Amino acid sequence: MKVITFVGLLACLGLANAGIFDKIDDATLTAAIQLAKYYIAKFDPIDKVDVSDYVLTVLQYNASKIYVSGFSDFELTHVDVQKNSLAISVRFNSIVASVDNWSAYTVVKNTIGLETLEATLNGLELDLEVQWALAPVTVQSLNVLPHVESGSFKLLGDLNGREADIDLDNDGLLKIDQLFADHSAELNEDLLTAVNWFLTKLQS
């Protein structure tokens, strides 16, 4: 997790000085992506048992098993970086995830308890558009639209006091995919609020 945090900080630094991208041609960008894949692959798959860790100081979690693979097998289909904005489209060919007995809580005491999470996502595409301001860092607009070609998803647990039992085959997953598309504006508004809350906590 410390590695992810470090990479995230480097990404923020790079985006804050995004003018350097104006001088990078397609060949250089392709080489940079291949280099990134090489280093990300060193952590792919994530395969851990009896995990106890935290994300910064906001989220602490425990799990008896965490397995995730395929996140280094990606393609960037679109990249546009400006001084205070980013537009990117990324496609993951196949992501497989399995989590057992995950428990987590946040600084606002929202809790998550997952007995089981199993997912296979084939052809997962993510379109992201974001604009931000500095000093303090706030996100002014955010648009995230996921799309999946096929797969399955199973979740059993407790989400902040609400029982969750979700078992989606391929057809069910595609219906959820369409639901995201139909309600993307509302979902992105909620996500924008959550991201800015998180940024406020980090800068306080």
In this prediction, residue 17 carries a pLDDT of 46
pLDDT (mean) for 194-202: 81
User: What pLDDT, on the 0 to 100 scale, is given for residue 83?
Assistant: 79
Q: Residue 183: name the closest of 171, 193, 173, 175 by CA.
A: 175
Mean pLDDT of 135-147: 87
Mean pLDDT of all residues belonging to the chain = 82
Say how many C-beta atoms besides its own lie within 10 A of residue 12's C-beta. Answer: 12
> Is pLDDT above 60 for 143?
yes
| Over residues 46-50, mean pLDDT | 93
Is the confidence at residue 124, as pLDDT, over 90?
yes
Contacts of 198 (CB under 8 A, 6+ apart): 58
Mean pLDDT of 146-163: 88
DSSP letter, residue 204: -
Within 13 Å of residue 100, how many CA atoms lie on the same side as its CB? 7
Query: How large is the angle between the packed helices 184-203 and 170-182, nearest 10 degrees?
Result: 80
Map tokens 């006091």 to a residue. 161
Mean pLDDT over residues 177-201, rounded? Answer: 87
Tokens 């940024």 belong to: 199
pLDDT band at 94 (very low <50, low <70, confident <90, very high): very high
Do 181 and 145 contact (CB within 8 A), yes or no? Answer: yes
The pLDDT value given to residue 7: 41
Global confidence as pTM? 0.73
